Structure 1
Amino acid sequence: MDYIQQGLQYMKEQNMEEAAKLFNRHIEEHPEDPVGYINFGNLLTHIKEYDRAKRFFEKALELDENVPTAHYGLGNVYFEQEQYSEATQEFQDAIKQGLDEADVYLMLGMSLMNQEQPKLALPYLQRASELEQEDVDIQFQYGLSLAYANLIEEAFNQFKHVLKLDEEHSDAHYNLGVAYLYKEEPHHALDHFNQALKIQPEHVLAGHGKKQVEDMLNEH
């Protein structure tokens, strides 16, 4: 019986207790295999036990420092603890060691964004967006990085793309409104701020944007 596969199935079903038992069994029977520690670490990250999770990923890397998923897991722990430069290092190591998945590029990009380095984040978020073209969150984060890097026209097109995937995305409407303001098209901006507020009435930024545009239009 494959304890790891069975444990992952339990995790999917949100049965963390049974999953933990099976990962633990795998570790007992295969103490030199980093895979058991990585999966237990992922489970602990999922239930927000970050310090314990970190120990499991570090143990996996002690056994084999060239396991990209252990670096990725450790990166996630650092990210959740807002240690973004440490997270950046781990995600970079995961990519160097051959992890070529949208999630690792997304997390590396977001770690750099949180360090206010949008230009460095851009290629990673672009890569994530290429790998997962239907993933709304990834496409939106890529749009944000374009906006922060002052690539307004590209950001504008990207937020439109997000709304094609999910027309109820209030933050995409808000950011599209901001892009329209840059283009000096206040009426279009107002439409999108209103859309954002219709979807999410407590959207503070959209409320502020709407008031700003209305004041501006009333002056003319």
Structure 2
Amino acid sequence: MKYADLIENAKKARSEGDYERAIGIYQEAFQQKVMVNDLVDLGLVYLDHKEPLKAIGIFEDVLTQYPGLAYVHYGLGIAYEETGRYSEARQAYQKAISVDESFADAYFGLALLADEENDENSAYDYYKKTILYDANHYWANLNLGSFYEKHGLLDLALQHTQNAYRISPREKMVSYNLGVIYAKMQKFDEAVKHYLEEIEKDGHLMSYLNLGLIYKDVYHDYEKARYYYLAGISKNKDDANLWYNLGCLYALMNDY
């Protein structure tokens, strides 16, 4: 089979999640010749297949010959991060940015590393940079919204979380985060709507607890509060918060 056809088949296998097959096809193709972009793609498949050490070997080899490929520095950063080499990951992301100042995902990688180190200020700056170069970056908008919500800047929190929702409304977490923000803004009908959306997506289980609290404390609808506590417990029988609040609710209902 011709090289181009093999590469096309490898890409198709990767898109279908059949990473082992994709790796095998790339290796077969490279017996004919090796194109740099295709070799980098094999490195990315190794990342998909949770083999970061093999990805590192490919990316480092490519960069010795082609140091100006920003996306390869970025891929190397991901691979370093997955092997716990965080300092080297940071350097790789920074190198990607030095090659291409507008590389949004590299800023996002730096933001996540800063978050892991509880360096909120740096994480904030990197999330802002990510959005500067990619306004439609879902996770940067979501995480920046969480930052603003944590610090009580609810209008900004709502703006960025709504952006994330617009970008990818079916992702988990975004509806839950909107529920939290709307509840803090005392917009409880909107909060309920978004917690229910999160439940529909089988997302964040805290949605059940928060719905129960709203129905108990705001709407004083104890039956609905009980329903959501019990629904949450059916998903996770070890959730102490749900059991505790269910007990408090039964006390209010004089149901012992």
SS of alignment partner, residue 13 of structure 1: helix
2: distance between equivalents of 1:85 and 1:150? 32
Counterpart of 2:177 in structure 1 is: 175
Residue 199 (structure 1) aligned with residue 201 (structure 2): yes
TM-score using structure 1 length = 0.75
Q: Is the 8 A contact 2:102 2:133 kept in 1?
A: no
Amino acid at match of 2:163: H
1:17-36 alignment to 2 at 5 Å?
17-23=24-30, 25-27=32-34
Deviations, residues 88-111 of structure 1 (Å, cap 9, x unaligned): 221111101226333323333223
Q: CA RMSD in A?
A: 3.3
Amino acid at match of 2:11: K
Amino acid at match of 1:111: L
- Structure whose CA Rg is larger: 2
Name which of structure 1's ranges 109-118 and 35-44 shifts more when overlaid on structure 2.
35-44
Counterpart of 2:57 in structure 1 is: 55
Unaligned runs of 5+ in 1: none
Name which of structure 1's ranges 8-17 and 170-179 shifts more when overlaid on structure 2.
8-17
Deviations, residues 52-97 of structure 1 (Å, cap 9, x unaligned): 1112222233445454333211111123335444322211111012
Change (3 A) 1:72 1:167: closer
Unaligned runs of 5+ in 2: 14-20, 221-248, 250-256
Q: Is the 8 A contact 1:119 1:145 kept in 2?
A: no
2: distance between equivalents of 1:209 and 1:179? 12
TM-score using structure 2 length = 0.66
Counterpart of 2:129 in structure 1 is: 127
SS of alignment partner, residue 48 of structure 1: coil
Q: Is the 8 A contact 2:59 2:73 kept in 1?
A: yes
Q: Is the 8 A contact 1:79 1:87 kept in 2?
A: yes
Residue 44 (structure 1) aligned with residue 46 (structure 2): yes
Displacement after TM superposition at 1:36 (Å): 6.3
Change (3 A) 1:26 1:209: farther
SS of alignment partner, residue 203 of structure 1: coil
2: distance between equivalents of 1:69 and 1:216? 51
Deviations, residues 149-173 of structure 1 (Å, cap 9, x unaligned): 6543212111122333444444112
Deviations, residues 185-205 of structure 1 (Å, cap 9, x unaligned): 4443333222322332x6312
Amino acid at match of 1:115: E
Q: Is the 8 A contact 1:26 1:36 kept in 2?
A: no
Counterpart of 1:109 in structure 2 is: 111
Q: Is the 8 A contact 1:23 1:39 kept in 2?
A: no
Amino acid at match of 1:69: Y
Name which of structure 1's ranges 186-195 and 172-181 shifts more when overlaid on structure 2.
186-195
Q: Is the 8 A contact 1:11 1:43 kept in 2?
A: no
Displacement after TM superposition at 1:8 (Å): 5.6
Change (3 A) 1:60 1:150: farther
